[in-house]
Amino acid sequence: MKALEGIGLYFAYGKKPLFLNVNISISEGECVALTGPSGSGKSTLCHILSGVIPRSFEGNVSGTVRLFGNDIRSLSLEETVKRVGIVFQNPDSQLFSPTVEDEVAFGPENLCLEREEIGRRITASLDSVGMQKYRYASPAKLSGGQKQLIALASVLALEPKALIFDEALSQLDEDSAALVKHAIREQKARGKAILMAEHDPNNLDIADRVYAFSDGSLSEVTHA
């Protein structure tokens, strides 16, 4: 089944289009990379496919986004976050709670889940990124890579079936990036559909397919 689909997407922040007629699809269990020069529209496309645009950021979008077969326009926020979660480039933009536990609990609490279920999700999410022992730590005191793992855990706590990583490794040092990359592989092995915007060719090894932006159009490119 197609997990994430963008069909005939057009986007402009103002009047001048950033891209026209973008088509992309990611199937269940697949890891797909999105490349292209800085400013080519990778983050914008990630935001559109996760519903951040137009829900939280403005812009002129047309075309269709389908999440697991459903038009994103027909989905509530709750239904959207169960289908797709996004991890951003800078973990500090995603972390705001005093403890790791509070951070990871935030999403499930907003879904109004029962206490027990919230506890189960915190444990499962922290286990899946190997950060259980930092449960009561302050996110502010963690390394960049550990912060990114907590950002991922907080997304996983919503149990989305697809994940988008928008250059999630790019602000990390080599050791931290390796940690987070391992966590992404782990999610792929669990059958999640993954889209990763990525500028570093060394990180394309985890991708099954690669798309590249060039001059406002997106095409699938041969994967080395």
Ligand X SMILES: Nc1ncnc2c1ncn2[C@@H]1O[C@H](COP(=O)(O)OP(=O)(O)O)[C@@H](O)[C@H]1O
Residues contributing to the site for ligand X (CB under 6 A): 13, 18, 36, 38-44, 57
Least Å distance, CB 197 to Mg ion, is 6
Nearest to 67 by CA among 32, 30, 25: 25
**Is beta strand 84-87 parallel, antiparallel or unpaired with respect to 70-71?**
unpaired
Q: Encoding tokens for residue 213?
A: 């932006």
Q: Write the CB contacts of 138 (distance below 8 Å, at least 6 apart in sequence).
A: 98, 99, 100
Q: Tell me whether the omega of the peptide bond preceding residue 139 falls within 30 degrees of 0, making it cis.
A: no
**Burial class of residue 175 (count of CB atoms within 10 Å of its CB; 0-12, 13-18, 19+):** exposed
Pick one of Mg ion, ligand X, none as the site partner of residue 8 (Cβ within 5 to 8 A by kind). Answer: none
Shortest Cβ 191–Mg ion spacing (Å):
26
Interaction partner, residue 25 (ligand X, Mg ion, none; CB < 5-8 Å by kind): none
Nearest to Mg ion by Cβ — which residue?
Answer: 43
Q: At closest approach, how far in Å is the CB of 117 from ligand X?
A: 35
Least distance CB 51 / ligand X (angstroms): 15
214: helix, coil or strand?
Answer: strand
Helix segments in 111-219, DSSP class H: 115-128, 144-156, 174-189
Nearer to ligand X, 36 or 139 (CB): 36
Give me the least distance between CB of 109 and ligand X, in Å please: 29
Applying CB under 5 A, the residues found at the interface with Mg ion are 42-43
Binds 96: which of Mg ion, ligand X, none (CB < 5-8 Å by kind): none
When CB distances are held under 5 to 8 angstroms depending on the partner's kind, the choice from ligand X, Mg ion, none that residue 39 binds is ligand X
Which CB sits closer to ligand X, 52 or 122?
Answer: 52
